[in-house]
Amino acid sequence: MKKTFLLKTLLLLCTFIVGVANSVWGEDNYTTVLSLDCASPAPSGSTSTSLNQTAIAEFLNAAAGLSNSANKISCSAKSGDVYSGKGSGGENIPQGCLKVGKASGAGSFTFTLPNTFDNIDLIEITGYGWKTSSSIKINNGTAQTFTTAQVETVKTFKLATSTKTINISVTSSAVCITNITLKKKEAAAAGTTAAPTISGSATFLDNSTVTITNDASADGADIYYTLNGDNPTTTTSATCFAYSAPFQVSATTTVKAIAKKSTDTNASSIVSKTFTKITPKTVTEALAAIDALADNGTIAEQYVRGIVSTAGSLNSGAITYYISADGSTSNELQVYKGKGLNNANFTSASEIAVGDEVIVFGTLKKYKSGTSITPEFDQNSYLISKVRKETPTFSLDVSEKTLDAYSHETVDVTLTTNTDGAITCESNDEDVATVELKSGNVYTITAKTEGTATITIRSAVSENYAPASAEVAVTVTDTRAEAGISFANDAITKTWGESFTGQELTNTNSVTVTWSSTDETVATVNTTTGIVNMLKAGTTTIKATYPGDVSYKPAVASYDLTINKATAGITYSENAFEIMLNDDSFVAPTLNNPNSLSGITYSSNNTNLAVVDENTGELWYDSSITGTAIITADFAGNDWYNSGSANYTITIIDPTVKGSKYNPYTVAEVIDGTATGDGIYVKGYIVGEYVGKTTNPRVSGFTTDANIAVADPFTTTPTASASIPVALPSDALKAAWGCKTSKGAFLGYEILIKGNADTYFSVKGIKSTSEVSLISLPITISAAGWATYCSNHPLDFTGVTALTAYTATVDGNAVKFNKVMGKVPANTGLLVSGETANVPVCASAAPVTNIMEGVTAEKVMDANSIFVLKKGANGLGFYKNAKEFTLRANSAYIPAASIPATARGFISLDDETTGIKGSLTPALSEGEGAIYTLDGRKVAIAPLGMDKNGQLKKGVYVVNGKKVVIK
């Protein structure tokens, strides 16, 4: 076994390191004069308190426990920032302190001890640095740096001159002081012999050699020393020894010594030196310390002992490598860009090898980049020691092997080695091949499935040897045919409620498979048939597994089945209801619950007006007050359905309130100033648009959608004095009611407006319009007294007397027009007669029987496909279009396919009957086939009724029991 020890270099290096980190390793003895516990007087709050000169003195006296007014510390000066309390801002100091300076600012204070205390020769400052550059000076001496924020450190300062006046200053980045200890040098005992010198490495890893040397003037003096901290005497005892030769210490020890010549009266003064043993952390301890840090937090001046587990490459004299507690690649600590022994550059990557036992000195860091965290020694760490172990013999008798999968062929391999380290074996792919110890140094490799695997036998680092490893490259072959099972889709997504019994398996060779589901709470599958039974929302994998046989390889075909939750689907058919004041007849709507969901809860957002049963939805409301309540049905969701909600609103309205929806203002009341306020309702007719402050409303050539002109009676020549401007501020209202977009099609429409009474175009009008709803619309009838019409709104003809509307039906061989007595649905084709008038719109209407069809926009119809209303050779009536015809918007027609086959080309508008012009010969084949005059005479030949061409003369006849007019 070979070992390389670098003890001499190590001891010299340790002396250098400690000399830099702690400048005082003196040989004088000091006694504590006063200790100031600066954490004790801190308030319990989380913010700092600024201290003035008087407050600093009070703080220091409290920290020192001095209460006698004649025996107190005084503060003679203060500069910059000095605070007490817990840290604030970014430093996150976890305890009380005396904070000197800011994040990037200086601070200092000067204090003097009372006369009852001795002068001070040494000061120890315990505290935290704000940043790694937080430095402190005592009496303007050499600055020392607290290298790591939030890690408590002790700094020692020797004073050049013994004094009672102390100045503490911080030049940049605050120092948070938790303790100030003031010490006085022990007076040397009177003597005539010169004191000896104690030498040796003040810090060490294993042991340090101590040498005590007489002063040249004390040649021949006897030296006595102690190791337990007692002062030596000039006699030997169990604790006091006579020095004869250098000796070693292996633990932290304070050596005190004196010298005395036999000719001198007194011994020399006592000299002292402390030798400190460094105990490196283990890698496990270092990782635990790093884990406790904040992200990118550090701990400076740390020693860690470990074994190199992963070597690295050389980069600019540094190597990044890893160490662990046992040399394995788990629980590793990265040494980032570490340097070699004595902080020297590496010259070769081979200077660090796996298995090397090392001690590293530097700053531990919890390095975070993105979401990745790496425990490491920060850059600029270096080796304190390195021990390289001997490489053992380590070889296998087989380096590669091909095995058969079907028979699970095995092979034994034998390891030859002299290592005393623990030996392990592993396969990088156990689905292909496995390995296990058979006996002694023999390992068995077993084939599993087709593929390649690497078998590794390795030894761990030991007391005598470095780690080693050997490999076997295994190829597993399978000459059987593929089973030939597969699915067309790798993934199937369904929504709960959909039908799904499984995806069809392609099974080329008809092998027998076993079906399974990875999550049987989501879906089960019949192990034989593969039929899937969905149980709830979620994802599972459906597998078809074939174990293989002599002919075919094992195989697994699978697909992911995702079942999404269905929509709850709860709704109310209507969701807005207006209830008149003191009307208790309203019945709450029934919730549509097509999926029969349970657990639905109900609530009201205004329980002063309406209360609802939480479980049933039963409603109680107070009809004696006005207001609004929203009733909501909530479903929280379950394993099958997403959460959902539905609501309806009830609004209790006083219909007598002027300016309300049910008692709106007139245009005249807006003009004369009666209508005032915001959110009022006004009723009127659209008569045009405004284009200027004093201009009468425009009624053609519209150029804007921003406003409309509204008047009380509709007029085609509106004036500014008899109409009001109404602003259409929203895009939705402009698109729905603007005269430019509609090309004036809404002129004459009676509307209900909600907005604010205000000045608009320098006259009284409505601004901030929020609602426009249709009350009635005009139906225009020509001078002939007849027209067709169709609206995209349901209409209510109840009580309308100025005009009459008709639908059309077929009655035998005749077309009959039927007077409309009530409501008709939107898009109903109508025949109208009478005078132009406004007809109210309604919310809805039941379907009506009607062969007429309507259009609300221009529509081109094929030739001979329709009957249209026009004045022709037989007067005003419906004529079949002989050629392509364009229907105007808001008109109606009769489809040719809807009337009897006997029709030829004209339908009369007679109120009682409808004549069908043309030969009635086809009709004569029905019934008794006879034609009669109104007085009952049978018509057979002219001149009674037939002309010479066999056509009926003009007149009224009875054909098959029905009256027919021939014009």
Q: In this predicted model, what pLDDT tens digit does every residue of 626-641 receive, in sequence order? A: 999 999 999 999 999 9
Question: Which residue from 349, 342, 347 is spatially nearest to 320, judged by alpha carbons?
Answer: 349
What gap in Å lies between CA 933 and CA 941, rounded to an integer?
12
Average confidence (pLDDT) over 536-556: 95
Q: Helix, strand, coil proportions of the chain in percent (round to 5)?
A: 5, 45, 45
Question: Which residue from 943, 851, 940, 861 is spatially nearest to 903, judged by alpha carbons?
Answer: 851
What gap in Å lies between CA 742 and CA 738, rounded to an integer?
6
pLDDT(934) > 70: no
Contact status, residue 394 vs residue 470, Cβ threshold 8 Å: yes
pLDDT(205) > 60: yes
CA atoms within 13 A on the CB side of 692: 5
Average confidence (pLDDT) over 563-589: 96
Identify the DSSP state of 448: -
pLDDT of residue 939: 60
List the structure tokens of 457: 């036998």
- Express each pLDDT in 749-789 by its tens digit: 999 999 999 999 989 999 999 999 999 999 999 888 999 99
What gap in Å lies between CA 671 and CA 761, rounded to an integer?
13
CA atoms within 13 A on the CB side of 340: 17
Question: Which residue from 319, 320, 324 is spatially nearest to 307, judged by alpha carbons?
Answer: 324
Work out the widest C-alpha separation in the chain, in whole angstroms. 184
- Express each pLDDT in 479-488 by its tens digit: 999 999 999 9
What gap in Å lies between CA 544 and CA 486, rounded to an integer?
9
- Express each pLDDT in 342-392 by its tens digit: 899 999 999 999 999 999 999 999 999 999 999 999 999 999 999 998 999
**197-199 and 165-170 beta bridge pairing:** unpaired
What gap in Å lies between CA 469 and CA 460, rounded to an integer?
9
Question: Which range (317-331, 465-479, 904-918) has the least confidence?
Answer: 904-918
pLDDT of residue 692: 81
pLDDT of residue 39: 80
Contact status, residue 168 vs residue 108, Cβ threshold 8 Å: yes
Percent of the chain residues topping a pLDDT of 90: 69
List the structure tokens of 305: 């002992």
Contact status, residue 358 vs residue 280, Cβ threshold 8 Å: no
List the structure tokens of 583: 């009307």
Identify the DSSP state of 346: P
* Most trustworthy range by pLDDT among 8-17, 808-817, 852-861: 852-861
Average confidence (pLDDT) over 790-798: 96
Q: Higher confidence at residue 744 or residue 95?
A: 744
pLDDT of residue 962: 55
pLDDT category at 910 given cuts 50, 70, 90 is: low
pLDDT category at 181 given cuts 50, 70, 90 is: very high
pLDDT of residue 115: 83
Please give the C-alpha separations between residue 255 and each of 14, 18, 32, 274, 277, in angstroms, as whole numbers: 19, 18, 19, 6, 14
Q: What backbone torsions phi and psi does residue 866 show, to the nearest 5 degrees?
A: -145, 165
**333-341 and 372-377 beta bridge pairing:** parallel
Secondary structure tally for the chain: helices H, strands E: 7, 74
pLDDT of residue 724: 96
Q: Which residues pair with 276 in a beta bridge?
A: 203
- Express each pLDDT in 253-302 by its tens digit: 999 999 999 888 889 999 999 998 989 999 999 999 999 999 999 999 89
Residue type, 7: L
Question: Which residue from 455, 391, 400 is spatially nearest to 429, judged by alpha carbons?
Answer: 455
pLDDT of residue 132: 66
pLDDT category at 120 given cuts 50, 70, 90 is: very high
pLDDT(131) > 80: no
Contact status, residue 445 vs residue 401, Cβ threshold 8 Å: yes
Average confidence (pLDDT) over 58-67: 86
The label of the residue with tokens 């807005």 reads 576
Percent of the chain residues topping a pLDDT of 70: 88
DSSP string for residues in 573-590: S--EEEEETT-----PPP
pLDDT category at 187 given cuts 50, 70, 90 is: low
Q: Can you give the length of the chain in residues?
A: 967
DSSP string for residues in 816-836: EEEE--SEE-TTB-EEEEES-
pLDDT category at 9 given cuts 50, 70, 90 is: very low
Q: What angle do CA 955, 958, 963 make, to 5 degrees?
A: 80
Q: Higher confidence at residue 3 or residue 846?
A: 846
Question: Which residue from 335, 337, 340 is spatially nearest to 374, judged by alpha carbons?
Answer: 335
pLDDT of residue 17: 35
Question: Which range (62-71, 432-441, 915-924) has the least confidence?
Answer: 915-924
Q: Which residues pair with 861 in a beta bridge?
A: 885
3-state secondary structure of 523: strand
pLDDT(595) > 70: yes
Contact status, residue 257 vs residue 270, Cβ threshold 8 Å: yes
pLDDT of residue 30: 83
pLDDT of residue 144: 87
pLDDT of residue 105: 81
Residue type, 492: I
Dihedral, CA atoms, 671, 673, 677, 682, nearest 10 degrees?
A: -40
pLDDT of residue 129: 81
pLDDT(859) > 60: yes
CB under 8 Å to 488, separation ≥6 — which residues?
A: 503, 504, 506
Identify the DSSP state of 336: E
Contact status, residue 952 vs residue 965, Cβ threshold 8 Å: no
Edge-first strand listing for the sheet containing 938-939: 938-939, 931-933, 955-959, 962-966
What gap in Å lies between CA 9 and CA 15, rounded to an integer?
10
What gap in Å lies between CA 395 and CA 746, rounded to an integer?
99
Please give the C-alpha separations between residue 813 and each of 900, 924, 938, in angstroms, as whole numbers: 6, 11, 20
pLDDT of residue 917: 36
Q: Which helix (H) or strand (E) holds 62?
A: helix 53-64
Average confidence (pLDDT) over 561-573: 97
DSSP string for residues in 412-444: EEEEEE---S-EEEEES-TTTEEEEEEETTEEE
The label of the residue with tokens 């007194």 reads 266
pLDDT of residue 85: 73
Average confidence (pLDDT) over 638-653: 97
pLDDT category at 669 given cuts 50, 70, 90 is: very high
Question: Which residue from 126, 142, 148, 131 is spatially nearest to 302, judged by alpha carbons?
Answer: 148
List the structure tokens of 427: 């396969």
What gap in Å lies between CA 649 and CA 619, rounded to an integer?
12
Q: Which residues pair with 561 in a beta bridge?
A: 492, 540
pLDDT of residue 441: 95
What gap in Å lies between CA 909 and CA 816, rounded to an integer?
9
Contact status, residue 766 vs residue 756, Cβ threshold 8 Å: yes
pLDDT of residue 377: 97
Please provide the average confidence, as pLDDT, over all residues in the chain: 87
What gap in Å lies between CA 338 and CA 386, rounded to an integer?
13
pLDDT of residue 955: 64
Q: Higher confidence at residue 948 or residue 56?
A: 56
pLDDT(192) > 90: no
Contact status, residue 760 vs residue 767, Cβ threshold 8 Å: yes
CA atoms within 13 A on the CB side of 150: 15
The label of the residue with tokens 């884990």 reads 291
List the structure tokens of 378: 């920060």
843 — alpha (psi -120 to 50), left (phi > 0) or beta? alpha
Q: What angle do CA 652, 654, 657 make, to 5 degrees?
A: 145
